[in-house]
Structure 1
Amino acid sequence: MNIVFMGTPDLAAVVLDKLIHSEHKILAVVTQPDKPKGRGNQVQFTPVKELALQYNIPVLQPRRVKEEGCLPILKEINPEVIVVAAFGQILPKSILEFPKYGCINVHASLLPKYRGSAPIQWSIIDGEDKTGVTIMHMDAGIDTGDMIMKAEVPIDSKETGGSLHNKLAECGGALLLKALKAIEDGTAPREKQKDEESCYAKMLDKSIGLIDFNRPAIEIERFIRGLNPWPSAYTFLDGKTIKIWDADVIEEESAGIPGEIVSVTKNTIVVKTSKDSLAIKELQLEGKKRMTVDAFLRGYLLETGKILNNKNG
C-alpha cells in the first residue's frame, strides 16, 4: 500500500523501519518540528525524521496538522492509508477520513486499558503482569477507535520503561504489517472498545519522579522501574538531587520513619517506607555519573539515620 507515516520518538522510528523494509511504499513522513535539546541547546531532528532522511523519504513537520495548509498537501500525496505511531498531535476529522483506508494507530497497550500518552510506564507502575500492542482505526477521540488486532507482551519482574519500550516497539512493527495485509485483503476485524474498561495513562514530566517514601516499598520499586530511563525517579540526599535507578523490596519492617536510611551495606542503602523497606542498588548523585551503591560508597560517607527527600539538607 501507499502510506503516509506519522510519528516522532524512538518507538515510532522502530515501527517506521519495519514499514520501510516491507513491500509497502512510504510516500512521506510527518513528524513533530525540530526542537533544541541538551546543554548546548542545539536543534535535534526527531528519531523518525533521522530515519526518513536516511532513506530519502520526504519529511513534513507542520507546527500543527490542523493548520489549513496541511490537508491539501496530504491529499496531493494521496496515501491509501495513514499510519500513526506516537505522533504527538491530535488529527482533525478532515485528515482522519480522507484516505481510502482511513488512519490506523499503533498503540502500546492492550486497549481499552491505558489510553493516553504514557501507557508503557504506567503499566509497570501499576503492577500489571502483561501489556501489549493494539492496532486500531482512529476516530476523533483519544485512543477510542475500533480495534483491529492485539498482541500481548509479558512484563518481567525487573522490567523497566526502557526495556518494555523496546519490546513493544518490535511487537508493534510486526503486528502492523499483519494488520495492513488484513486491511488490504478486506479481512480485518473491527472490535468496538468497552469504554467502561478504560483508564487514562497521563502524560509524564520530570516533576512526577519525586519518590514518596510514605508509599509501600513494592509501589516505589515499580515506580523506579517504570520511570527508567525517563523521566527517572529521584529523591534528595544532603540537599542534592539523587536519581534512583535500581532497587529491591525487603519484606521486613524496620524502626524509623519513611525516608530514613536504616541500613548501609557494601552493596545497598536500605530505606524505610510505609510498608517494608527499599534496598537501593544503583543511583546517580547530582552532577555525577550513574553507579552502583558499592562504587558510590567508596566516595561518599553515608550513615544510618539520614532522611531522604530533605531538599534543604
Structure 2
Amino acid sequence: MRIALIGQSAFGKSVLEALIEKGEDEIVGVFAPPTKEGRSPDPISAAARELNVPIYEFKRLRDQEAVDQFKALEPELCVMAFVTDIVPMSMINYPSFGTIQYHPSLLPLHRGPSSINWPIIQGKTETGLTIFWPDDGLDTGPVLMQKKVEIAPEATLGSVYFNKLFPLGVQAMVESVDLVRSGEAPKISQDESQATYESWCKASDVVVDWSSGVETVFNLIRGSDPQPGANTTHNGERLFLYDAAHSSYGSSGHNPGAVVEIGVEKIIIASTDGSIAIGRVRASGGKKIGAAEWAESADLKVGDIFGG
C-alpha cells in the first residue's frame, strides 16, 4: 500500500522505522510539526530525512495547502501516530483504505489528550491502547484493535508509557497495517454508554490535597510523573513532586502535609491515614533534584507544613 504517515516525537519516529523495516508498503510522505527556529527537528522528521522519505511540515493540517499536498501523494492508507493537530476530514477520508490512529487508552474509556495520566490518578489497575478509525468526533471512531496492560501498584505515567504503551503501540500499529492490507481489519463500534472523557492534565489539576488520603495522594503524584508534575506549596512557592513511594511511617500526631522525616534520600510527608516518601522535587523555574538536597537548601524542618 501507499501510506502517508502523520506523527511526531519518538513514537511517530518508531512507527515510521517499524513500517520501513517491515518493507511491505511504500511510505509516500511523512507529515510532521514544523521545526522551530533554533530548535532541532522533530525526531520523526530527522528519521524521515535519514530514510529518504519525503517530509512535509505544515503549521496547520487544516490549511488547504496541506490538504492538497496530502492528496497529491495519492495515499491508500493514512497512519496517525501521535497527532496533536486537528486533521480535517477531507484528509482522513481521502485514502481508499481510510485512516487509522493510535490512542493510549481502552476506548471508549479516557477519550481526550491526557489519557495515560487519568487512569493512574484514578487508581485504575488496567489500561491499554486502541487502534481505531477516526471520524469527526474526538476519539469516537470504530475500533480496529485493542491491547490491555497492567498498571502496577508503583507505576508512574512515565513507566506505563515508555515500558508498555509505547513499544506495544508501535507493534499494534504494524499489526493493524497488516490487517488493513489483508482486508481483515475490523471496524467495531464503540459502546457510547461506557464512554468517558478527560481534558488535558494540567499542573492546576494535580495540586496535592494532603487531607485526601494517602492512596489518593500517591496516585495523584505517580499519575503526573513526569508531566505535568503533582505539586504543593512551601513558604508560598510551588514545589513539584516526583518519585513517590509509600512510607512505613504513619500519620499519627501529624497534621496532613506535615514533614514527618527528612532522610538521606527522601522526605516523608503525612496524609490523613499514612505518609508518602518523596524522592525528587522541582522548585518553580528550577531543575529536578533530590528531595533531601532540596530540603537542606530550603532549610526544611520536621513539622513544617506543605500546602498551608
TM-score (norm 2): 0.89
Q: Could you say which residue in structure 1 is the equivalent of 2:28? A: 27
Q: Could you say which residue in structure 2 is the equivalent of 1:273? A: 271
Q: How does 1:152-167 map to 2 (within 5 A)?
A: 152-166=148-162, 167=164
CA distance in 2, matches of 1:276, 1:220: 10
Q: Does 2:144 match 1:148?
A: yes
Say which of 62, 83, 88 aligns to 2:84.
Answer: 88
Aligned AA for 2:256? P
Q: How far did residue 287 of structure 1 move?
A: 6.2
Q: How does 1:69-218 map to 2 (within 5 A)?
A: 69-166=65-162, 167-218=164-215
Q: Could you say which residue in structure 2 is the equivalent of 1:237? A: 234
Q: Could you say which residue in structure 1 is the equivalent of 2:262? A: 264
1:151 and 1:298, CA in 2 relative to 1: closer, same or farther beyond 3 A?
A: same
CA distance in 2, matches of 1:262, 1:87: 44
Q: Could you say which residue in structure 2 is the equivalent of 1:248? A: 245
Q: Could you say which residue in structure 2 is the equivalent of 1:8? A: 8
Which 4+ residue blocks in structure 1 deviate beyond 6 angstroms? none
Tell me how large the CA RMSD over aligned residues is. Answer: 2.2
Aligned AA for 1:52? A
Q: How far did residue 159 of structure 1 move?
A: 1.5
CA distance in 1, matches of 2:211, 2:280: 21
8 Å Cα contact 2:11/2:170 also seen in 1:
no
Aligned AA for 2:183? G
1:187 and 1:288, CA in 2 relative to 1: closer, same or farther beyond 3 A?
A: closer
1:291 and 1:70, CA in 2 relative to 1: closer, same or farther beyond 3 A?
A: closer
1:105 and 1:296, CA in 2 relative to 1: closer, same or farther beyond 3 A?
A: same
CA distance in 1, matches of 2:239, 2:96: 52
1:288 and 1:176, CA in 2 relative to 1: closer, same or farther beyond 3 A?
A: closer
Secondary structure in 1 matching 2:124: coil
Secondary structure in 2 matching 1:173: helix
CA distance in 1, matches of 2:210, 2:43: 36
Moved more, 18-27 or 190-199: 18-27
TM-score (norm 1): 0.88
